[in-house]
Structure 1
Amino acid sequence: MSVDENVRLVPTQLAALAAGVSEATIRKWASRGKLTRYGTTGRALYDLTELLDLLAEGESGGRPVDP
């Protein structure tokens, strides 16, 4: 799978922070096909734009993390 050079990939921790959800939620969305997982075994990366689009569509279904 090739990645477009305009894609901004972030690790799980930053994806969770940007979305206001837990890292487990990011992994769950990826396993359910809501979010594409890039990277290698042990180093998951997620497209920040795809994540923000998912949140804008309101289809995440996740609960926000307590501050």
Structure 2
Amino acid sequence: MRSPTGVRRTVPTQLAALAAGVSEATVRKWASRGKLTRYGRPGRAEYDLDELLRLVVDRAASGREN
């Protein structure tokens, strides 16, 4: 899903973790489990900010942490 402007806003792992309030390892775990899409190239993972925030909101609503 893209932002209302139609542009995918991606951030590196470190900023994704900061935005979600979790560790970088958790962001990587979510990606490996298919809960979050990994973009970027080898050695430079990036994550869609809108997708990440939806995941965080959904997890908070269901009471799950990781």
Q: Give the TM-score range, shorter chain.
A: 0.7 to 0.9
TM value normalised by structure 2 = 0.81
More helix by share: 2
Structure-1 residue corresponding to 2:30: 29
1:61 CA displacement: 3.0
Q: Helix, strand or coil: the match of 1:56?
A: helix
- Superposition misfits of 4+ residues, deviation over 4 angstroms: none
Q: Helix, strand or coil: the match of 1:6?
A: coil
Structure-2 residue corresponding to 1:49: 50
Letter of the 2:17 counterpart? A
Query: In the aligned structure 2, how far is the partner of 1:25 from the partner of 1:13?
Result: 11
Percent identity of the aligned residues? 68
Q: Helix, strand or coil: the match of 1:55?
A: helix
RMSD of aligned alpha carbons: 1.6
Query: Structure 1: any 5+ residue segments left out of the alignment?
Result: 63-67
Query: Structure 2: any 5+ residue segments left out of the alignment?
Result: none
Structure-2 residue corresponding to 1:61: 65
